[in-house]
Amino acid sequence: MSANLKYVSLGILVFQTTSLVLTMRYSRTLKEEGPRYLSSTAVVVAELLKIMACILLVYKDSKCSLRALNRVLHDEILNKPMETLKLAIPSGIYTLQNNLLYVALSNLDAATYQVTYQLKILTTALFSVSMLSKKLGVYQWLSLVILMTGVAFVQWPSDSQLDSKELSAGSQFVGLMAVLTACFSSGFAGVYFEKILKETKQSVWIRNIQLGFFGSIFGLMGVYIYDGELVSKNGFFQGYNRLTWIVVVLQCLFPWSHPCNNSYFFIWL
């Protein structure tokens, strides 16, 4: 059962990440009348929906009792402020990372982004070795070398890319820097989050609620700082359509498959 569950989880993860990348890329390049939706607001909405999804899961684990749910949230979150504050660091990194992914997909094609973003597996492995003293086998290090080689080949310009004017060199550089920064933040935050999980007995759902709480705060701060004028002019949900909501739902549909946690499938498998 555990082996079957592992491969089912992997299949769901592959479907979620692939569909998210394609729909996010399409939503950021689709030309429509009116203002385009703000990626900063999409990040906030996704975090709020993740909180709601995790609360429902905690409610289910509490045998569908509102009283038990209230007791769990009160005991595990409100009565443990220092444990909750530990999640502020990875939450801030997650929020930055999610915004960077929108920037990357606005400036890179989906295939280049998807392959380059797999460098998060390398950064996660390096941070795991340095922060958690993990030991990787020969085949795992060999896999990392092959991964880096593949990413290097993807970034090598072809003749068709040299002749294409769809994306300027400047926008490609911005997209590449965004995805590389997201890879490093993903590796560090993922290992940091794993370390916190191992030091406490709180469930993943409670931890995700805490992450979502701080993520919403950091996200709203980003909305106010970078897009405050646009929000006051056209509204928080400006440019939202059916495709935008699909992107947001795909981000929060699987709370356990957070961008940084995806990296663990390399070590897990």
Structural tokens at position 146: 């092959």
Q: What is the DSSP letter of 157?
A: P
User: Burial code of 171-191, b = ≥16 C-beta within 10 A, e = fewer?
Assistant: ebebbbebbbebbbbbbbbbb
What is the value of pTM for the model shown? Answer: 0.80
The Cα–Cα gap between 105 and 258 comes to: 17
- CA-to-CA dists, residue 36 to 28, 41, 53, 106, 228, angstroms: 8, 11, 27, 12, 15
196: how many CB neighbours lie within 10 A of its CB? 17
pLDDT value of residue 163: 47
The Cα–Cα gap between 136 and 118 comes to: 18
> Are 115 and 80 within 8 A, CB to CB?
no
207: how many CB neighbours lie within 10 A of its CB? 23
The Cα–Cα gap between 127 and 122 comes to: 9
pLDDT value of residue 40: 93
- Burial category of 2 from C-beta neighbours within 10 Å (exposed 0-12, middle 13-18, buried 19 and up): exposed
List of residues 6+ apart from 73 with CB closer than 8 A: 55, 58, 206, 209
The Cα–Cα gap between 254 and 54 comes to: 10
The domain spans of the chain are 37-158+165-237
pLDDT value of residue 114: 79
The Cα–Cα gap between 113 and 155 comes to: 10
pLDDT values of the chain reduced to their tens digit, one per residue, 269 residues: 566 777 787 777 778 778 888 898 888 888 877 888 999 999 999 999 999 999 999 999 888 899 999 999 998 888 888 888 888 988 898 889 889 989 888 888 877 887 888 888 888 888 888 888 888 788 888 887 887 777 666 655 555 554 454 545 558 888 889 999 988 988 898 888 888 877 777 788 888 899 899 999 999 999 999 899 999 999 999 999 999 999 999 888 754 445 444 444 444 44
- CA-to-CA dists, residue 38 to 56, 95, 139, 198, 225, angstroms: 28, 14, 42, 36, 13
